[in-house]
Amino acid sequence: MAAILALKTHGYRLGFIGEAHASDSSVSKLFHVLHGGSKGNTVMYETASKELSVPLDRTLLVTDLKLENCSDNAVISVTLPSLSEDTEEQPLLEQFASDLLNFDQCLDPAGRCFGPFRVLFSQVFYESALSFALVNLKPIVPGHVLVVPKRPVGRFEMLDADEVSDLWISAQLVGKKVEKYYGASSLTFAIQDGKESGQTVQHVHIHVIPRIAQDFECNDDIYTEIEKHERGLHVDNETRTARSEAEMAAEATQLRLLFS
């Protein structure tokens, strides 16, 4: 259960294949699609990919059965042995999810990951199918927020087309709301993609920053501040103090109302 919820939280679309539980409502709530059929492995795999609207090269079949009659490249699969007494303390599916997400707190039901950081759901104020928006630990200006893909990937090129579209549509909507809420008249959207660009958190994210007239002596100073912000997530920043969880939750609560 924890592994399934963690994968859903982090942007993975999940299907269940099996006759025994196809009509179980507790199972149906966990998965995007259910498939009760018993077709050949390749056909089953292709059908699941189509129903989930996920490309074949992004579809992974996790099974406790040895796959037979499959060509070498037909199915991308991981075989996990059935749960036994010696694996009860560390279920293999949960270990698999942790390895896939590469985040040691990914099974925590109270939050999700932003790179190596744990983000509490209380700090998230907007969520779409594939993206989420969160308030900032050390905002450059009031209303400086981040829009992030749910699936934790380090580089922009690693996002699929549906994720790119969802991410920027979400940024557009979030920008519109925070600009009005904070009494701004413009917005800066910024994304740092790769080490040389100044990116320090290995999880794609868009800075959405409300702007007002003369908020910086030189307009391009905003980019220097963004770079400082990235570094400041890892070390103490002398110019901006990290906010408490309570402060961040309070701001997120107010922003959440803008989308209700």
Which sequence positions are flagged as catalytic?
Answer: 205
**Token pair recorded at residue 170:** 């979400």
Type of residue numbered 122: S
Give the angle subtended at the CA of 194 by the CAs of 190 and 197, to the nearest 5°.
Answer: 55
- Does 201 appear as a known binding residue? yes
- Does 214 appear as a known binding residue? no
- Does 254 appear as a known binding residue? no
**Token pair recorded at residue 181:** 């809420």
- What is d(CA 78, CA 96) in angstroms, rounded to the nearest whole number? 9
Supply the angle between the helices 92-101 and 2-9 in degrees, to the nearest 10. Answer: 20
- Does 192 appear as a known binding residue? yes
Helix (H) or strand (E) holding 186: strand 186-190
- Does 199 appear as a known binding residue? yes
**Token pair recorded at residue 145:** 């927020």
Contacts of 248 (CB under 8 A, 6+ apart): 122, 123, 135, 136, 137
Binding residues for substrate: 136, 192, 198-201, 207
Which residues are documented as binding site?
136, 192, 198-201, 207
